[in-house]
């Protein structure tokens, strides 16, 4: 008994000597464990576990020990002291960053300078578009500097094939006569930018040559003096290029009757006589515009015997026949439908137009030459009276 009492006394003395009464506790809550033994100068680590994530901290009076955290597969770490900051290492979505100055700081200090090419001027762009013949002629005519200037210009640029289709005498004349070449080339240039959206049916616009070009729109097809625009709205540094499939010729400053009279081959003398006899010169010289399907002298000569003489004596009948060859509006060959009927200037009379790979026909008559321009319309030469 004496020994038992002595042992109890010794144990009680040791317990009373501890600052917190000697207690040590452990807590478990929803699978999380907490434990600690506080002392005067430090706190021992706590490591809670919550939903598979672990957090730890060590706190002292003068320093904080590293923390490590895992959250959704990402780890973060830090070590902080009063006078310095240790590197951070972070992994986010498979990317690692380390140090006080990440790699992307260098990219900001040394940006990559973009490289680009300045847009070409009209001669440069035209050459790229398959219009190198045009460019060669522009240089030959001494117009390269003008078309490389600030502009802006709108150029209707014929393809190489368009120049190759010109009759040899015409090409030879352009090669010999620089003044003529300049006039032809400047007829393809309009001052200012004229995009395809600004083009309208029957629009006329002055060129740098002085004469006007006529624009017509048929469905989705755009023509300039009958030449079809096959590639519109090509931008250059000093304007716009519309590629066309034919070389443009200046529209004569004369109406339809004068164009017939001045035909270099004198193919329309009979038609001119008939127009005068019918009193239609003023009508066909008006603003119009009109499309005339013009029979040649041979076509009138092919009429039955006495038919022409009879018409020339009957003014009303002659006028009716002639107006049956006239269609209101400007219908270049591009605008002729595959098949269809159109109203003529003669009330109640229609003509049937048809276009195929073989050409254009009008009531069965063949168009043997199309798209002869006049100030007030266009002329198509046919081989029969209709």
Question: Do 240 and 262 reside in the same domain of the chain?
Answer: no
- Any idea what the CATH number is for the domain that residue 315 is in? 2.30.180.10
Supply the pLDDT for residue 130.
Answer: 81
Domain-embedded: residue 194: yes
Domain-embedded: residue 102: no
Question: Do 364 and 297 reside in the same domain of the chain?
Answer: yes
Supply the pLDDT for residue 249.
Answer: 86
Question: Do 271 and 377 reside in the same domain of the chain?
Answer: yes
Domain-embedded: residue 80: no
Domain-embedded: residue 117: no
> Which residues lie below 8 Å from residue 355, measured CB to CB, with a gap of 6+?
333, 336, 337, 338, 339, 361
Q: Which of 244, 276, 295 is the last residue of a domain?
A: 244
Tokens of 332: 């270049």
Domain-embedded: residue 290: yes
Question: Do 296 and 333 reside in the same domain of the chain?
Answer: yes
Predicted TM-score (pTM) of the model is 0.66
For every residue of 307-372, DSSP letters joined together read: HHHHHHH-HHHHHHHHHTTEEES---GGGS-SEEEEE-SSTT-EEEEEEETTEEEETTEEEEEEEE
Question: Do 276 and 200 reside in the same domain of the chain?
Answer: no
Domain range holding 282? 256-382
Supply the pLDDT for residue 19.
Answer: 46
Q: Which of 194, 224, 244 is the last residue of a domain?
A: 244
Question: Do 296 and 342 reside in the same domain of the chain?
Answer: yes
Up-side HSE of residue 308: CA atoms within 13 Å toward CB? 17
Domain-embedded: residue 62: no
Total of domains in the chain: 2
Question: Do 225 and 328 reside in the same domain of the chain?
Answer: no
Question: Do 264 and 224 reside in the same domain of the chain?
Answer: no
Question: Do 129 and 150 reside in the same domain of the chain?
Answer: yes
One pLDDT digit (tens) per residue for the chain, 386 residues: 444 434 434 443 434 444 444 444 434 433 344 444 444 444 444 444 444 444 444 344 444 444 444 444 444 444 444 444 444 444 444 444 444 444 444 444 455 444 445 578 999 899 888 889 999 999 999 999 999 998 899 999 999 999 999 999 998 999 899 999 999 999 999 999 999 999 999 999 999 999 999 999 998 799 999 999 999 999 999 999 999 999 998 888 899 999 999 999 999 999 999 999 999 999 999 999 999 999 999 999 999 999 999 999 999 999 999 999 999 999 999 999 888 999 999 999 999 999 998 899 999 999 999 999 999 999 999 999 99
Domain-embedded: residue 305: yes
Sign of CA dihedral 258, 261, 267, 269: positive
Q: Which of 178, 213, 244 is the last residue of a domain?
A: 244
Domain-embedded: residue 299: yes
C-alpha closest to that of 374 among 265, 280, 292:
292
Question: Do 324 and 225 reside in the same domain of the chain?
Answer: no
Question: Do 232 and 262 reside in the same domain of the chain?
Answer: no
C-alpha closest to that of 280 among 231, 314, 318:
318
For every residue of 242-279, DSSP letters joined together read: EEESS---PPPSS-HHHHHHT-TT---HHHHHHHHHTT
Supply the pLDDT for residue 120.
Answer: 87
Question: Do 237 and 266 reside in the same domain of the chain?
Answer: no
């Amino acid at each position: 008994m004496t020994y038992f009492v002595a042992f109890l006394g010794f144990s009680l003395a040791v317990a009373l000597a501890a600052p917190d009464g000697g207690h040590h506790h452990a807590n478990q809550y929803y699978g999380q464990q907490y434990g600690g033994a506080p002392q005067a100068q430090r706190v021992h680590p706590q490591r809670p576990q919550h939903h598979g994530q672990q957090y730890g901290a060590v706190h002292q009076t003068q320093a904080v020990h590293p923390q490590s955290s895992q959250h959704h597969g990402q780890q973060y770490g830090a070590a902080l002291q009063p006078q310095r900051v240790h590197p951070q290492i972070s992994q986010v979505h498979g990317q690692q960053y380390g140090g006080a100055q990440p790699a992307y700081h260098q990219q900001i200090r040394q940006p990559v300078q973009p490289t680009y090419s300045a847009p070409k001027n009209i001669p440069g762009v035209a050459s790229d578009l398959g219009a190198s013949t045009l460019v060669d002629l522009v240089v030959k005519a001494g117009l390269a500097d003008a078309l490389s200037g600030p502009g802006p210009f709108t150029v209707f640029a014929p393809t190489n094939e368009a120049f190759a289709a010109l009759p040899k005498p015409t090409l030879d004349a352009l090669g010999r006569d620089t003044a003529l070449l300049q006039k032809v080339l400047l007829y393809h240039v309009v001052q200012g930018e004229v995009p395809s959206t600004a083009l309208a049916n029957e629009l006329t616009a002055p060129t740098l040559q002085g004469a006007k070009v006529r624009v017509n729109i048929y469905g989705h097809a755009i023509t300039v003096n009958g030449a079809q625009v096959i590639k519109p709205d090509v931008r250059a540094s000093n304007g716009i290029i519309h590629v066309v499939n034919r070389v443009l010729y200046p529209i004569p400053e004369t109406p339809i009757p004068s164009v017939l009279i001045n035909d270099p081959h004198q193919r329309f003398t009979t038609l001119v006589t008939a127009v005068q006899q019918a009193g239609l010169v003023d009508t066909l010289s008006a603003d119009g515009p009109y499309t005339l399907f013009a029979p040649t002298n041979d076509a009138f000569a092919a009429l039955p015997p006495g038919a022409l003489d009879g018409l020339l004596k009957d003014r009303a009948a002659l006028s009716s026949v002639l107006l049956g060859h006239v269609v209101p509006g400007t219908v270049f060959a591009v605008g002729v439908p595959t098949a269809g009927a159109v109203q003529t200037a003669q009330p109640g009379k229609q003509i049937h137009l048809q276009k195929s790979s073989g050409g254009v026909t009008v009531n069965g008559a063949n168009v043997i030459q199309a798209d002869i321009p006049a100030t007030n319309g266009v002329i198509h030469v046919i081989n029969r009276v209709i």
